[in-house]
């Protein structure tokens, strides 16, 4: 997978190849501003679209986790909560410019 926008720059650049680890327990996803895991998830409201953004907060509600996400290059967090079952995985390795 490769980023298709500049929303995660300078951490991830368009054309970087991302290695994703799936099968995660939502409890194990780090969700802290600036240091949270970079996750790949189905976009709420358009689940056919995948998004790569940083998890910056995690909320437990009725036994399920929801994640607040933000692109590193964006001024504000995304305007959605990502349910745990929308998460594909987290970025564990980046190979610069190999995704072109």
Structure confidence by residue, pLDDT tens digits, 40-56: 999 999 999 999 999 99
pTM of structure = 0.92
Integer Cα distance of 92 and 25 in angstroms: 15
Rg (CA), the chain: 13
| Interval 23-29 mean pLDDT | 95
| Interval 26-44 mean pLDDT | 96
Give the strand pairing for 64-70 and 46-61: antiparallel
Integer Cα distance of 90 and 50 in angstroms: 12
Could you report the per-residue pLDDT of 69-91, keeping only the tens digit for each? 999 999 999 999 999 999 999 99
CA terminus-to-terminus distance, the chain: 10
Task: Check residue 48 and give its pLDDT.
Answer: 95
For all residues of the chain together, what is the average pLDDT?
95
């Amino acid at each position: 997978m490769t980023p298709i926008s500049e929303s995660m720059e300078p951490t991830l650049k368009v054309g970087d190849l991302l290695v994703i680890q799936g099968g995660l327990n939502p409890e194990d996803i780090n969700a802290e501003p600036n240091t949270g895991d970079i996750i790949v998830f189905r976009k709420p409201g358009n689940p056919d679209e995948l998004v790569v953004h940083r998890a910056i907060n995690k909320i437990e509600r009725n036994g399920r986790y929801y994640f607040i996400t933000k692109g590193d290059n964006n001024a504000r967090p995304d305007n959605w909560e990502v349910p745990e079952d929308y998460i594909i995985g987290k970025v564990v390795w980046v190979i610069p410019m190999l995704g072109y």
